[in-house]
Amino acid sequence: MESRSRTHLNLNRMDLAPLFRRTLRALMLAALLAPTLSAAAMAPLEPESPAYREGREALDKRDWRTAEAAFQRATEIDAEPDGAFYWLAYSQAKRGRTTAALATIDQLMLQWPKSPWRDDAEALRIELRGGKTVATGIEGGVDDELKLMALAGLAQSDPQRALPMIEKILAGPGSTELKEQALFVAGQMGGEAGAEMLVRAARDSRDPEIQESAIQYLGVLGGDRHLATLDELFRSDISRDAKESILEAYMIAGSRDRLLAAARGGSDVDLRAEAAQLLGTQGAVDELWQLYQTESSTEVRESILQGFMISGDGRHLREVARDSSDEELQQEAIQLPGVMGEHEFLLEILAEARSTEAKTEIVEALGISGRLEDLEALAGDRSQPLEVREAAIEGLGIHGGGEVLWRLFQTADSALNEALVEGLALAGQGDRLLSVVKDRSRPVAVREEALGALIIVGPDPEVVMGLYRDLEEHSLREGALELLFTRGAAEELITIVRTETDPGLRAAAVQFLGLTGSPLAADVLESILTE
């Protein structure tokens, strides 16, 4: 996972005045929302439920899909889920699901106004909106901040006087950020007038961002009347993005019936697929399975499988994984248990599989599950097809099994040498690959494979230059020249062109130097032409 502080902000690059103003705004909004607080608002910084731990482990592996599914489960089962909501939004953002991430942040802000995760969530919201915040000075940011603070205070002290001010902000030329925060205040005020503002904004397509925010807030408010408004909007001629926001609002409101209806009907396959996947967040496994039996679209059926994964329903995924009538869906169903970490099931169906292709798919899924010991056993199992063993080695490389690969490299048969050196490269084992290249006791073919794999690692040009000088074999020195070219090392290639006495190697160096396109090469190449 990327290195990040708990504050999610680089204070060294910030003016502390905007930070203070944003913190003060958060405190004022927390005071405004105080009547809605529950015991869950006093959550510890790091809850430790199994789902939460699974999500954090997935983040460390940069496995955003697994992280999203785990944190979604944590939001549903944790007694204090505000941290899970933050990491759910973070995972959604990493998967490019910006609208969903913003909706999750809104839900966190609305339900846990005193959560210690609010600052992180606000910072993430700023990132998702391109770095813009009401405290940055953009579009009169400081004025916007003051307006918001005044509005929050007015809504607390005299809600009736605040309503026309919210109307004025929504109709005025202010920034999108200010208008969205005004909607937030309107939604928290309760009553007919505040809800009606959200409904009007949800119907107004002139500002898509405001419309989508209003739709999400209606989902947070829930209730038959607001959901009926969303139903009407969903059937109307609004944008696809707005309809996607309505689906997410249904999810926020916990309306599985509406999600199921959206997944079953309509001509937009993408929307149906989105609805099917969101059903997984509601634990609607029986409804999803019924839908899977009748659905004809492969795209929607794949989303249903993803819904099974999100809901933690391994039973139906196993059933599809054993069904070879549709290879594409079977492959998807095999991969998803890997995301869920169900390695025992994968080993079970591996023993049942007959084709090499199916076995390879299962081994790839085992790699996703992170079970390096299973991959090591398969890589060393001479009874398995070569392609299966190579897939296991690749999985070890991708998932950081450098030590395992190095052990295998010392003992494995030569047929696996190429796969093993590539696996070592994927695992970032550059130093070990260099040691193989330099080891004159090994066959030249093995050393050449290790040298070629170094392209994946990308060693420093100085290291490659030293390697070139130390090597004696012509083919290996040519490989080092190619490696210098891939690193764009024009200066090192120029040195070799000027000093190399071997005609063949000098010619190769000239060729690679010309391919670099470096301005440094022009004088050297011209001098060769005048020799």
Tally Cβ neighbours within 10 Å of residue 140: 15
Nearest CA-CA partner of 315 in 324, 305, 325, 300:
305
Per the model's pLDDT, the better-predicted residue between 49 and 283 turns out to be 283
Q: What is the reported pLDDT for 1? A: 36
CATH architecture of 14-131: Alpha Horseshoe (1.25)
Interatomic CA distance for residues 320 and 472, integer angstroms: 56
* pLDDT, tens only, 409-425: 888 778 888 899 899 99
Q: Determine which of 9-18, 391-400, 463-472, 484-493 has the lowest per-residue pLDDT on average.
A: 9-18
Q: What is the reported pLDDT for 144? A: 67
Q: Are the C-beta atoms of 238 and 270 separated by less than 8 Å?
A: no
Q: Determine which of 24-38, 62-76, 85-99, 452-466 has the lowest per-residue pLDDT on average.
A: 24-38
pLDDT band at 246 (very low <50, low <70, confident <90, very high): very high
Please say if the pLDDT value at position 88 is more than 90.
Answer: yes
pLDDT band at 12 (very low <50, low <70, confident <90, very high): very low
* pLDDT, tens only, 122-131: 888 877 876 4
Interatomic CA distance for residues 500 and 85, integer angstroms: 61
Helix, strand, coil percentages for the chain (3-state, nearest 5) = 75, 0, 25
* pLDDT, tens only, 265-322: 878 899 999 999 898 888 888 999 999 888 889 899 998 888 888 888 878 888 888 8
Q: What is the reported pLDDT for 524? A: 85
Q: Where are the domains of the chain?
A: 14-131, 341-454, 458-531
Ramachandran bin of 139, using left for φ above 0, alpha for ψ from -120 to 50, beta for the remaining angles: left
Interatomic CA distance for residues 71 and 347, integer angstroms: 26
Please say if the pLDDT value at position 477 is more than 90.
Answer: yes
Please say if the pLDDT value at position 134 is more than 60.
Answer: no
* pLDDT, tens only, 311-363: 888 788 888 888 878 888 888 888 777 777 777 888 887 887 777 887 888 88
* Mean pLDDT value across residues 373-383: 87
* Mean pLDDT value across residues 197-223: 86
Q: What is the reported pLDDT for 21? A: 37
